[in-house]
Amino acid sequence: MKLTRAALALTAGALAPALLLATPSLASAAPALAPVSAPAGAAADSDADNRFAIAKILGDPASGKAVIRAAGWALDGTPADRVAFLTTGYARAQDEDNRFAIAKILGDPASGRGVIRAANRALDGTAADRAAFLKTGLRLAQAEDDRVAAARILGRPGISDALRAAAEKAIDGTPEDLRYFITVGQYQV
């Protein structure tokens, strides 16, 4: 089964330029009004396009295990299975991967209060909420936790002037600056 997917992905990659270049010429040759029933070759072309789209998803390094599993089933299935995957199955599998990623974040003992609160809110929300959390919400929640940690460092009695300056600079900086200060910078000062 994996050999079939690998061969299909390789073939799709090799044929991609030819398919992309051939598509506009076919579109311009199409009649103004489409016939009521599609010709036999049209369904095969559509299934080939669907196979190509699924192969692209399989080749994406960001695809999670649920997406890869569902895409594999779709490729091994019928043309209707491929259509179902591309219309609804892909989104469901992506949401399953997002739920798993959020659960891993919640299981990490280093996750802070803001991250845990935002992750729980995302898990209780919609698929769009989970995707938004992983795209930007996690970064913002982590910045909130890092800002609190930097403020705690500033609240310590007797900290050095250099550490105070570095903490204040991090608080005024970007979320990445804060993250760097909390994980590395405070120990370098």
% residues pLDDT > 70 (the chain): 76
Last residue of a domain, one of 73, 92, 107: 107
User: How crowded is the C-beta side of 114, counted as CA atoms within 13 Å?
Assistant: 13
Residue 118 pLDDT exceeds 80: yes
* Predicted local confidence at residue 52, as pLDDT: 94
pLDDT, averaged across the chain: 80
Lowest mean pLDDT among 19-23, 98-102, 156-160, 183-187: 19-23
* Predicted local confidence at residue 15, as pLDDT: 39
How many domains does the structure of the chain reveal? 2
Residue 148's domain comprises 112-189
* Predicted local confidence at residue 110, as pLDDT: 86
Same domain, 67 and 153: no
Taking the C-alpha atoms of residue 29 and residue 187, their distance in angstroms, rounded to an integer, is: 67
How far is CA 15 from each of CA 30, 49, 52, 79, rounded to the nearest angstrom? 22, 11, 9, 20
Taking the C-alpha atoms of residue 83 and residue 24, their distance in angstroms, rounded to an integer, is: 22
Same domain, 116 and 97: no
Q: Which one has a higher pLDDT value, 151 or 4?
A: 151
Q: How confident is the model at residue 72 (pLDDT cuts 50, 70, 90)?
A: very high
Q: Please compute the mean of the pLDDT values over residues 5-23 and round it to a whole number.
A: 38
* Predicted local confidence at residue 189, as pLDDT: 77
Q: Is 80 among the domain residues?
A: yes
Same domain, 131 and 168: yes
Same domain, 188 and 155: yes
Last residue of a domain, one of 79, 107, 135: 107
* Predicted local confidence at residue 45, as pLDDT: 58
Last residue of a domain, one of 75, 107, 139: 107
